[in-house]
Amino acid sequence: MQIVLYRSIEIFCFCLAIHILVWRSFPQRNQGARLLLIFFLGPLLLACIHALGAWLAPDMFLPVDFASWALASLLHLSVAGVYVNLFTAVTGFSPSIGILERVEQSMPHGLERDELAPPWFTDKNLSGARRENLLSSGLICESGGLLQLSPRGRLVAGGFLLFRRILGLPDLGKG
């Protein structure tokens, strides 16, 4: 079973390396689709590389055991799902992280509460990147200076609203 753990680490590191190369080489459009493509097709691509390597150079590659590859891919996909969600949080603007950085810059003395509102709490920082992401993914569109939901956007918003209501959480759009 150790091979499953090692193989899943290998798959994840392979996909992470591809993701970093793509992230640094190409403009940042539709990151969600890119991440899913890389992390879901990565195990298949790496399995093909190993199978080809085992066929061409059997002394350098272990034979491919498809059961261990399947289990390792399953573990990889669970870790990749967490990474994809975490990545979007890390790359987006976070007021909480901004506040932490602002307080950290004033250490070791600290920061008074009225100095906490940094100048970068602007519309562009707070909603601009999210708005552009929603526009580029086709969930919203802009017409006559107004933002409107696309049919896909209605489906996504309705699904999340329904889920929040099932959990007993308040509707965010009314706040």
pLDDT at 128 over 60: yes
Q: Which residue has the tokens 């090692």?
A: 6
Q: Does position 69 have pLDDT exceeding 50, yes or no?
A: yes
DSSP string, the chain: -HHHHHHHHHHHHHHHHHHHHHHHHS----HHHHHHHHHHHHHHHHHHHHHHHHHH-TTTSPPP-HHHHHHHHHHHHHHHHHHHHHHHHHHS--HHHHHHHHHHHTTTT---GGG-S-TT-SHIIIIIHHHHHHHHTTSEEEETTEEEE-HHHHHHHHHHHHHHHHHTPPPGGG-
CA distance 60 to 135: 48
pTM: 0.55
pLDDT score recorded for residue 175: 43
Measure the CA–CA gap between 12 and 39, rounded to whole angstroms. 8
14-28, 56-70, 118-132, 143-157: which has the highest mean pLDDT?
A: 143-157
150 φ, ψ (degrees, to nearest 5): -80, 170
Instruction: Report the pLDDT averaged over residues 113-140.
Output: 75
The confidence score (pLDDT) of residue 91 equals 67
- pLDDT-derived band at 120 (thresholds 50, 70, 90) equals low
From the number of C-beta atoms within 10 Å of its C-beta (0-12, 13-18, 19+), residue 65 rates as middle
User: Looking at residue 145, what is its pLDDT?
Assistant: 83
Domain boundaries, given as residue ranges, for the chain? 2-91
pLDDT digits (tens, 9 = 90+) for 10-42: 889 999 899 888 888 876 666 777 888 888 888
Question: What is the longest distance spanned by two Cα atoms in the chain?
Answer: 67
For residues 7 and 74, is the Cβ–Cβ distance under 8 A?
Answer: no
pLDDT of 9: 92
Find the mean pLDDT for residues 51-68. Answer: 78
Q: Which two tokens stand for residue 99?
A: 């506040």
The pLDDT value given to residue 136: 85
pLDDT of residue 140 exceeding 50: yes
CB-based contacts of 19: which residues, under 8 Å, 6+ apart? Answer: 34, 35, 38, 39
